[in-house]
Structure 1
């Protein structure tokens, strides 16, 4: 009887942890969507041109990536549950914790593990494409299609909702095939194809024609990350999983910053085509952003196809 009660408590704790992780991931996606949708009215109110809009997003993403490392150290020192409950208060002590710690903020030695390094590289590339795509899509809907902030946010649900569905499908595929390869390769192929379809529909000027591409891109981009996260955690020893999680999340956010920086630099080199005299984006900027996102996703697809194993040993080293 006691054994049954203990197993029930363990299952309850696992469900709570899974729900907490799901909510946290949803909050990050929601936050990125809000930033993308709010960028245009913020630029209009503050008089920001196209270059300044890119800088705003870069500051946001770089801040997020740096805080991921700091919060990871706090969780490693004080424990995950206490960090979640007291996170807001502990932010004030972040600097003190980093300075007093004898361990590095980011344990880059984990990159010597081939499976971990490949999964991190893929996560980096996926985030570079995903954040760039979401940013340019939100700006396009408002500045080119002239939709309101609310309407553009609703329109982006065609991208965001399939992302959630993709995360669910990712776990099912990994369990069935025993590795992250099936979910990652399939997802990236779907995402790259969706971006191509979406880009070709931009010229129509009708947001409804963009929905098929949005659905495919969202579903595809939602599939790699959960499977790759499991692959990363499985590739490191148990006592290094906290460090691995911190490094993964930090480099993932840095991937988003890298994507915005590269695509923004390319778009701004053709500023006469991508922005008008007031610094407002034109359709050419959207195409540049979408093509850049497609390139990152295609690179990730090639890397996954050539480097991910067909099956993974479920016993960590």
Structure 2
């Protein structure tokens, strides 16, 4: 990133190459560096996205092809920003969630535009302050540069580890990762419109309507409703979210009641996942507690738990490992 920024700066300063699209790309690279620094030093895992600037007001002197290229680039950044703001869990309709996200993204862009002039004035003030500070502390600055402050190895290793972690997933990206994890564990994924719970040993149906709202995925094993998967964006405390979510207790709509494995516990096997982190709760076990797992359990494993629960009520069904 640094090499790319330095090359672009040199081209502009020494070769008189001016390209607004490249400037926009450099601006985003600077934002990505700042975001990486924040995650590396502070351990922040909240989902964020680059807020693109608006098109310059005066474009008459700019080549039309360059303006068209810049508009396309800005539109791509707008789409990425809108995707990062999608919160599927806040509405029962995916299109409505995406519409809300677009409105929120445009509001962020407009807010950034309005703040631009205020920031310009602040920058001038800061430049004056920086000049004063440099003059007053030049000697101290030189000493510290020649003899940089030592950083404890443990702190340095922690910063490196956080910097190497992938960026946090937004909810749309999390759903794609969860789909891949379910498929890898042997589950068939179906939409609500094409639902066929008998299509395989384990079937995960998306956007399933419950008595009290909507579930991201409802799990069927051997044609019986046995569990649920809730998708969350990174930064959500999953353990408490899973334990405290009692909306599943009301169960399913009447047309699905005959397919429920246990009426007293409609969704016995519960998962909540960000795609990067997954927690599991087995409501059949006597000492039911949420715990982190590294993959979804296979349908055959869940079927074995169901059989044991039916044959030996009150005993522990699930082991501590994923199978």
TM-score scaled by length of structure 1: 0.23
Q: Which has the higher contact order (CA 8 A, sep 6+)?
A: 1
The structure where strand makes up a greater share of residues is 2
TM-score scaled by length of structure 2: 0.23
The structure where helix makes up a greater share of residues is 1
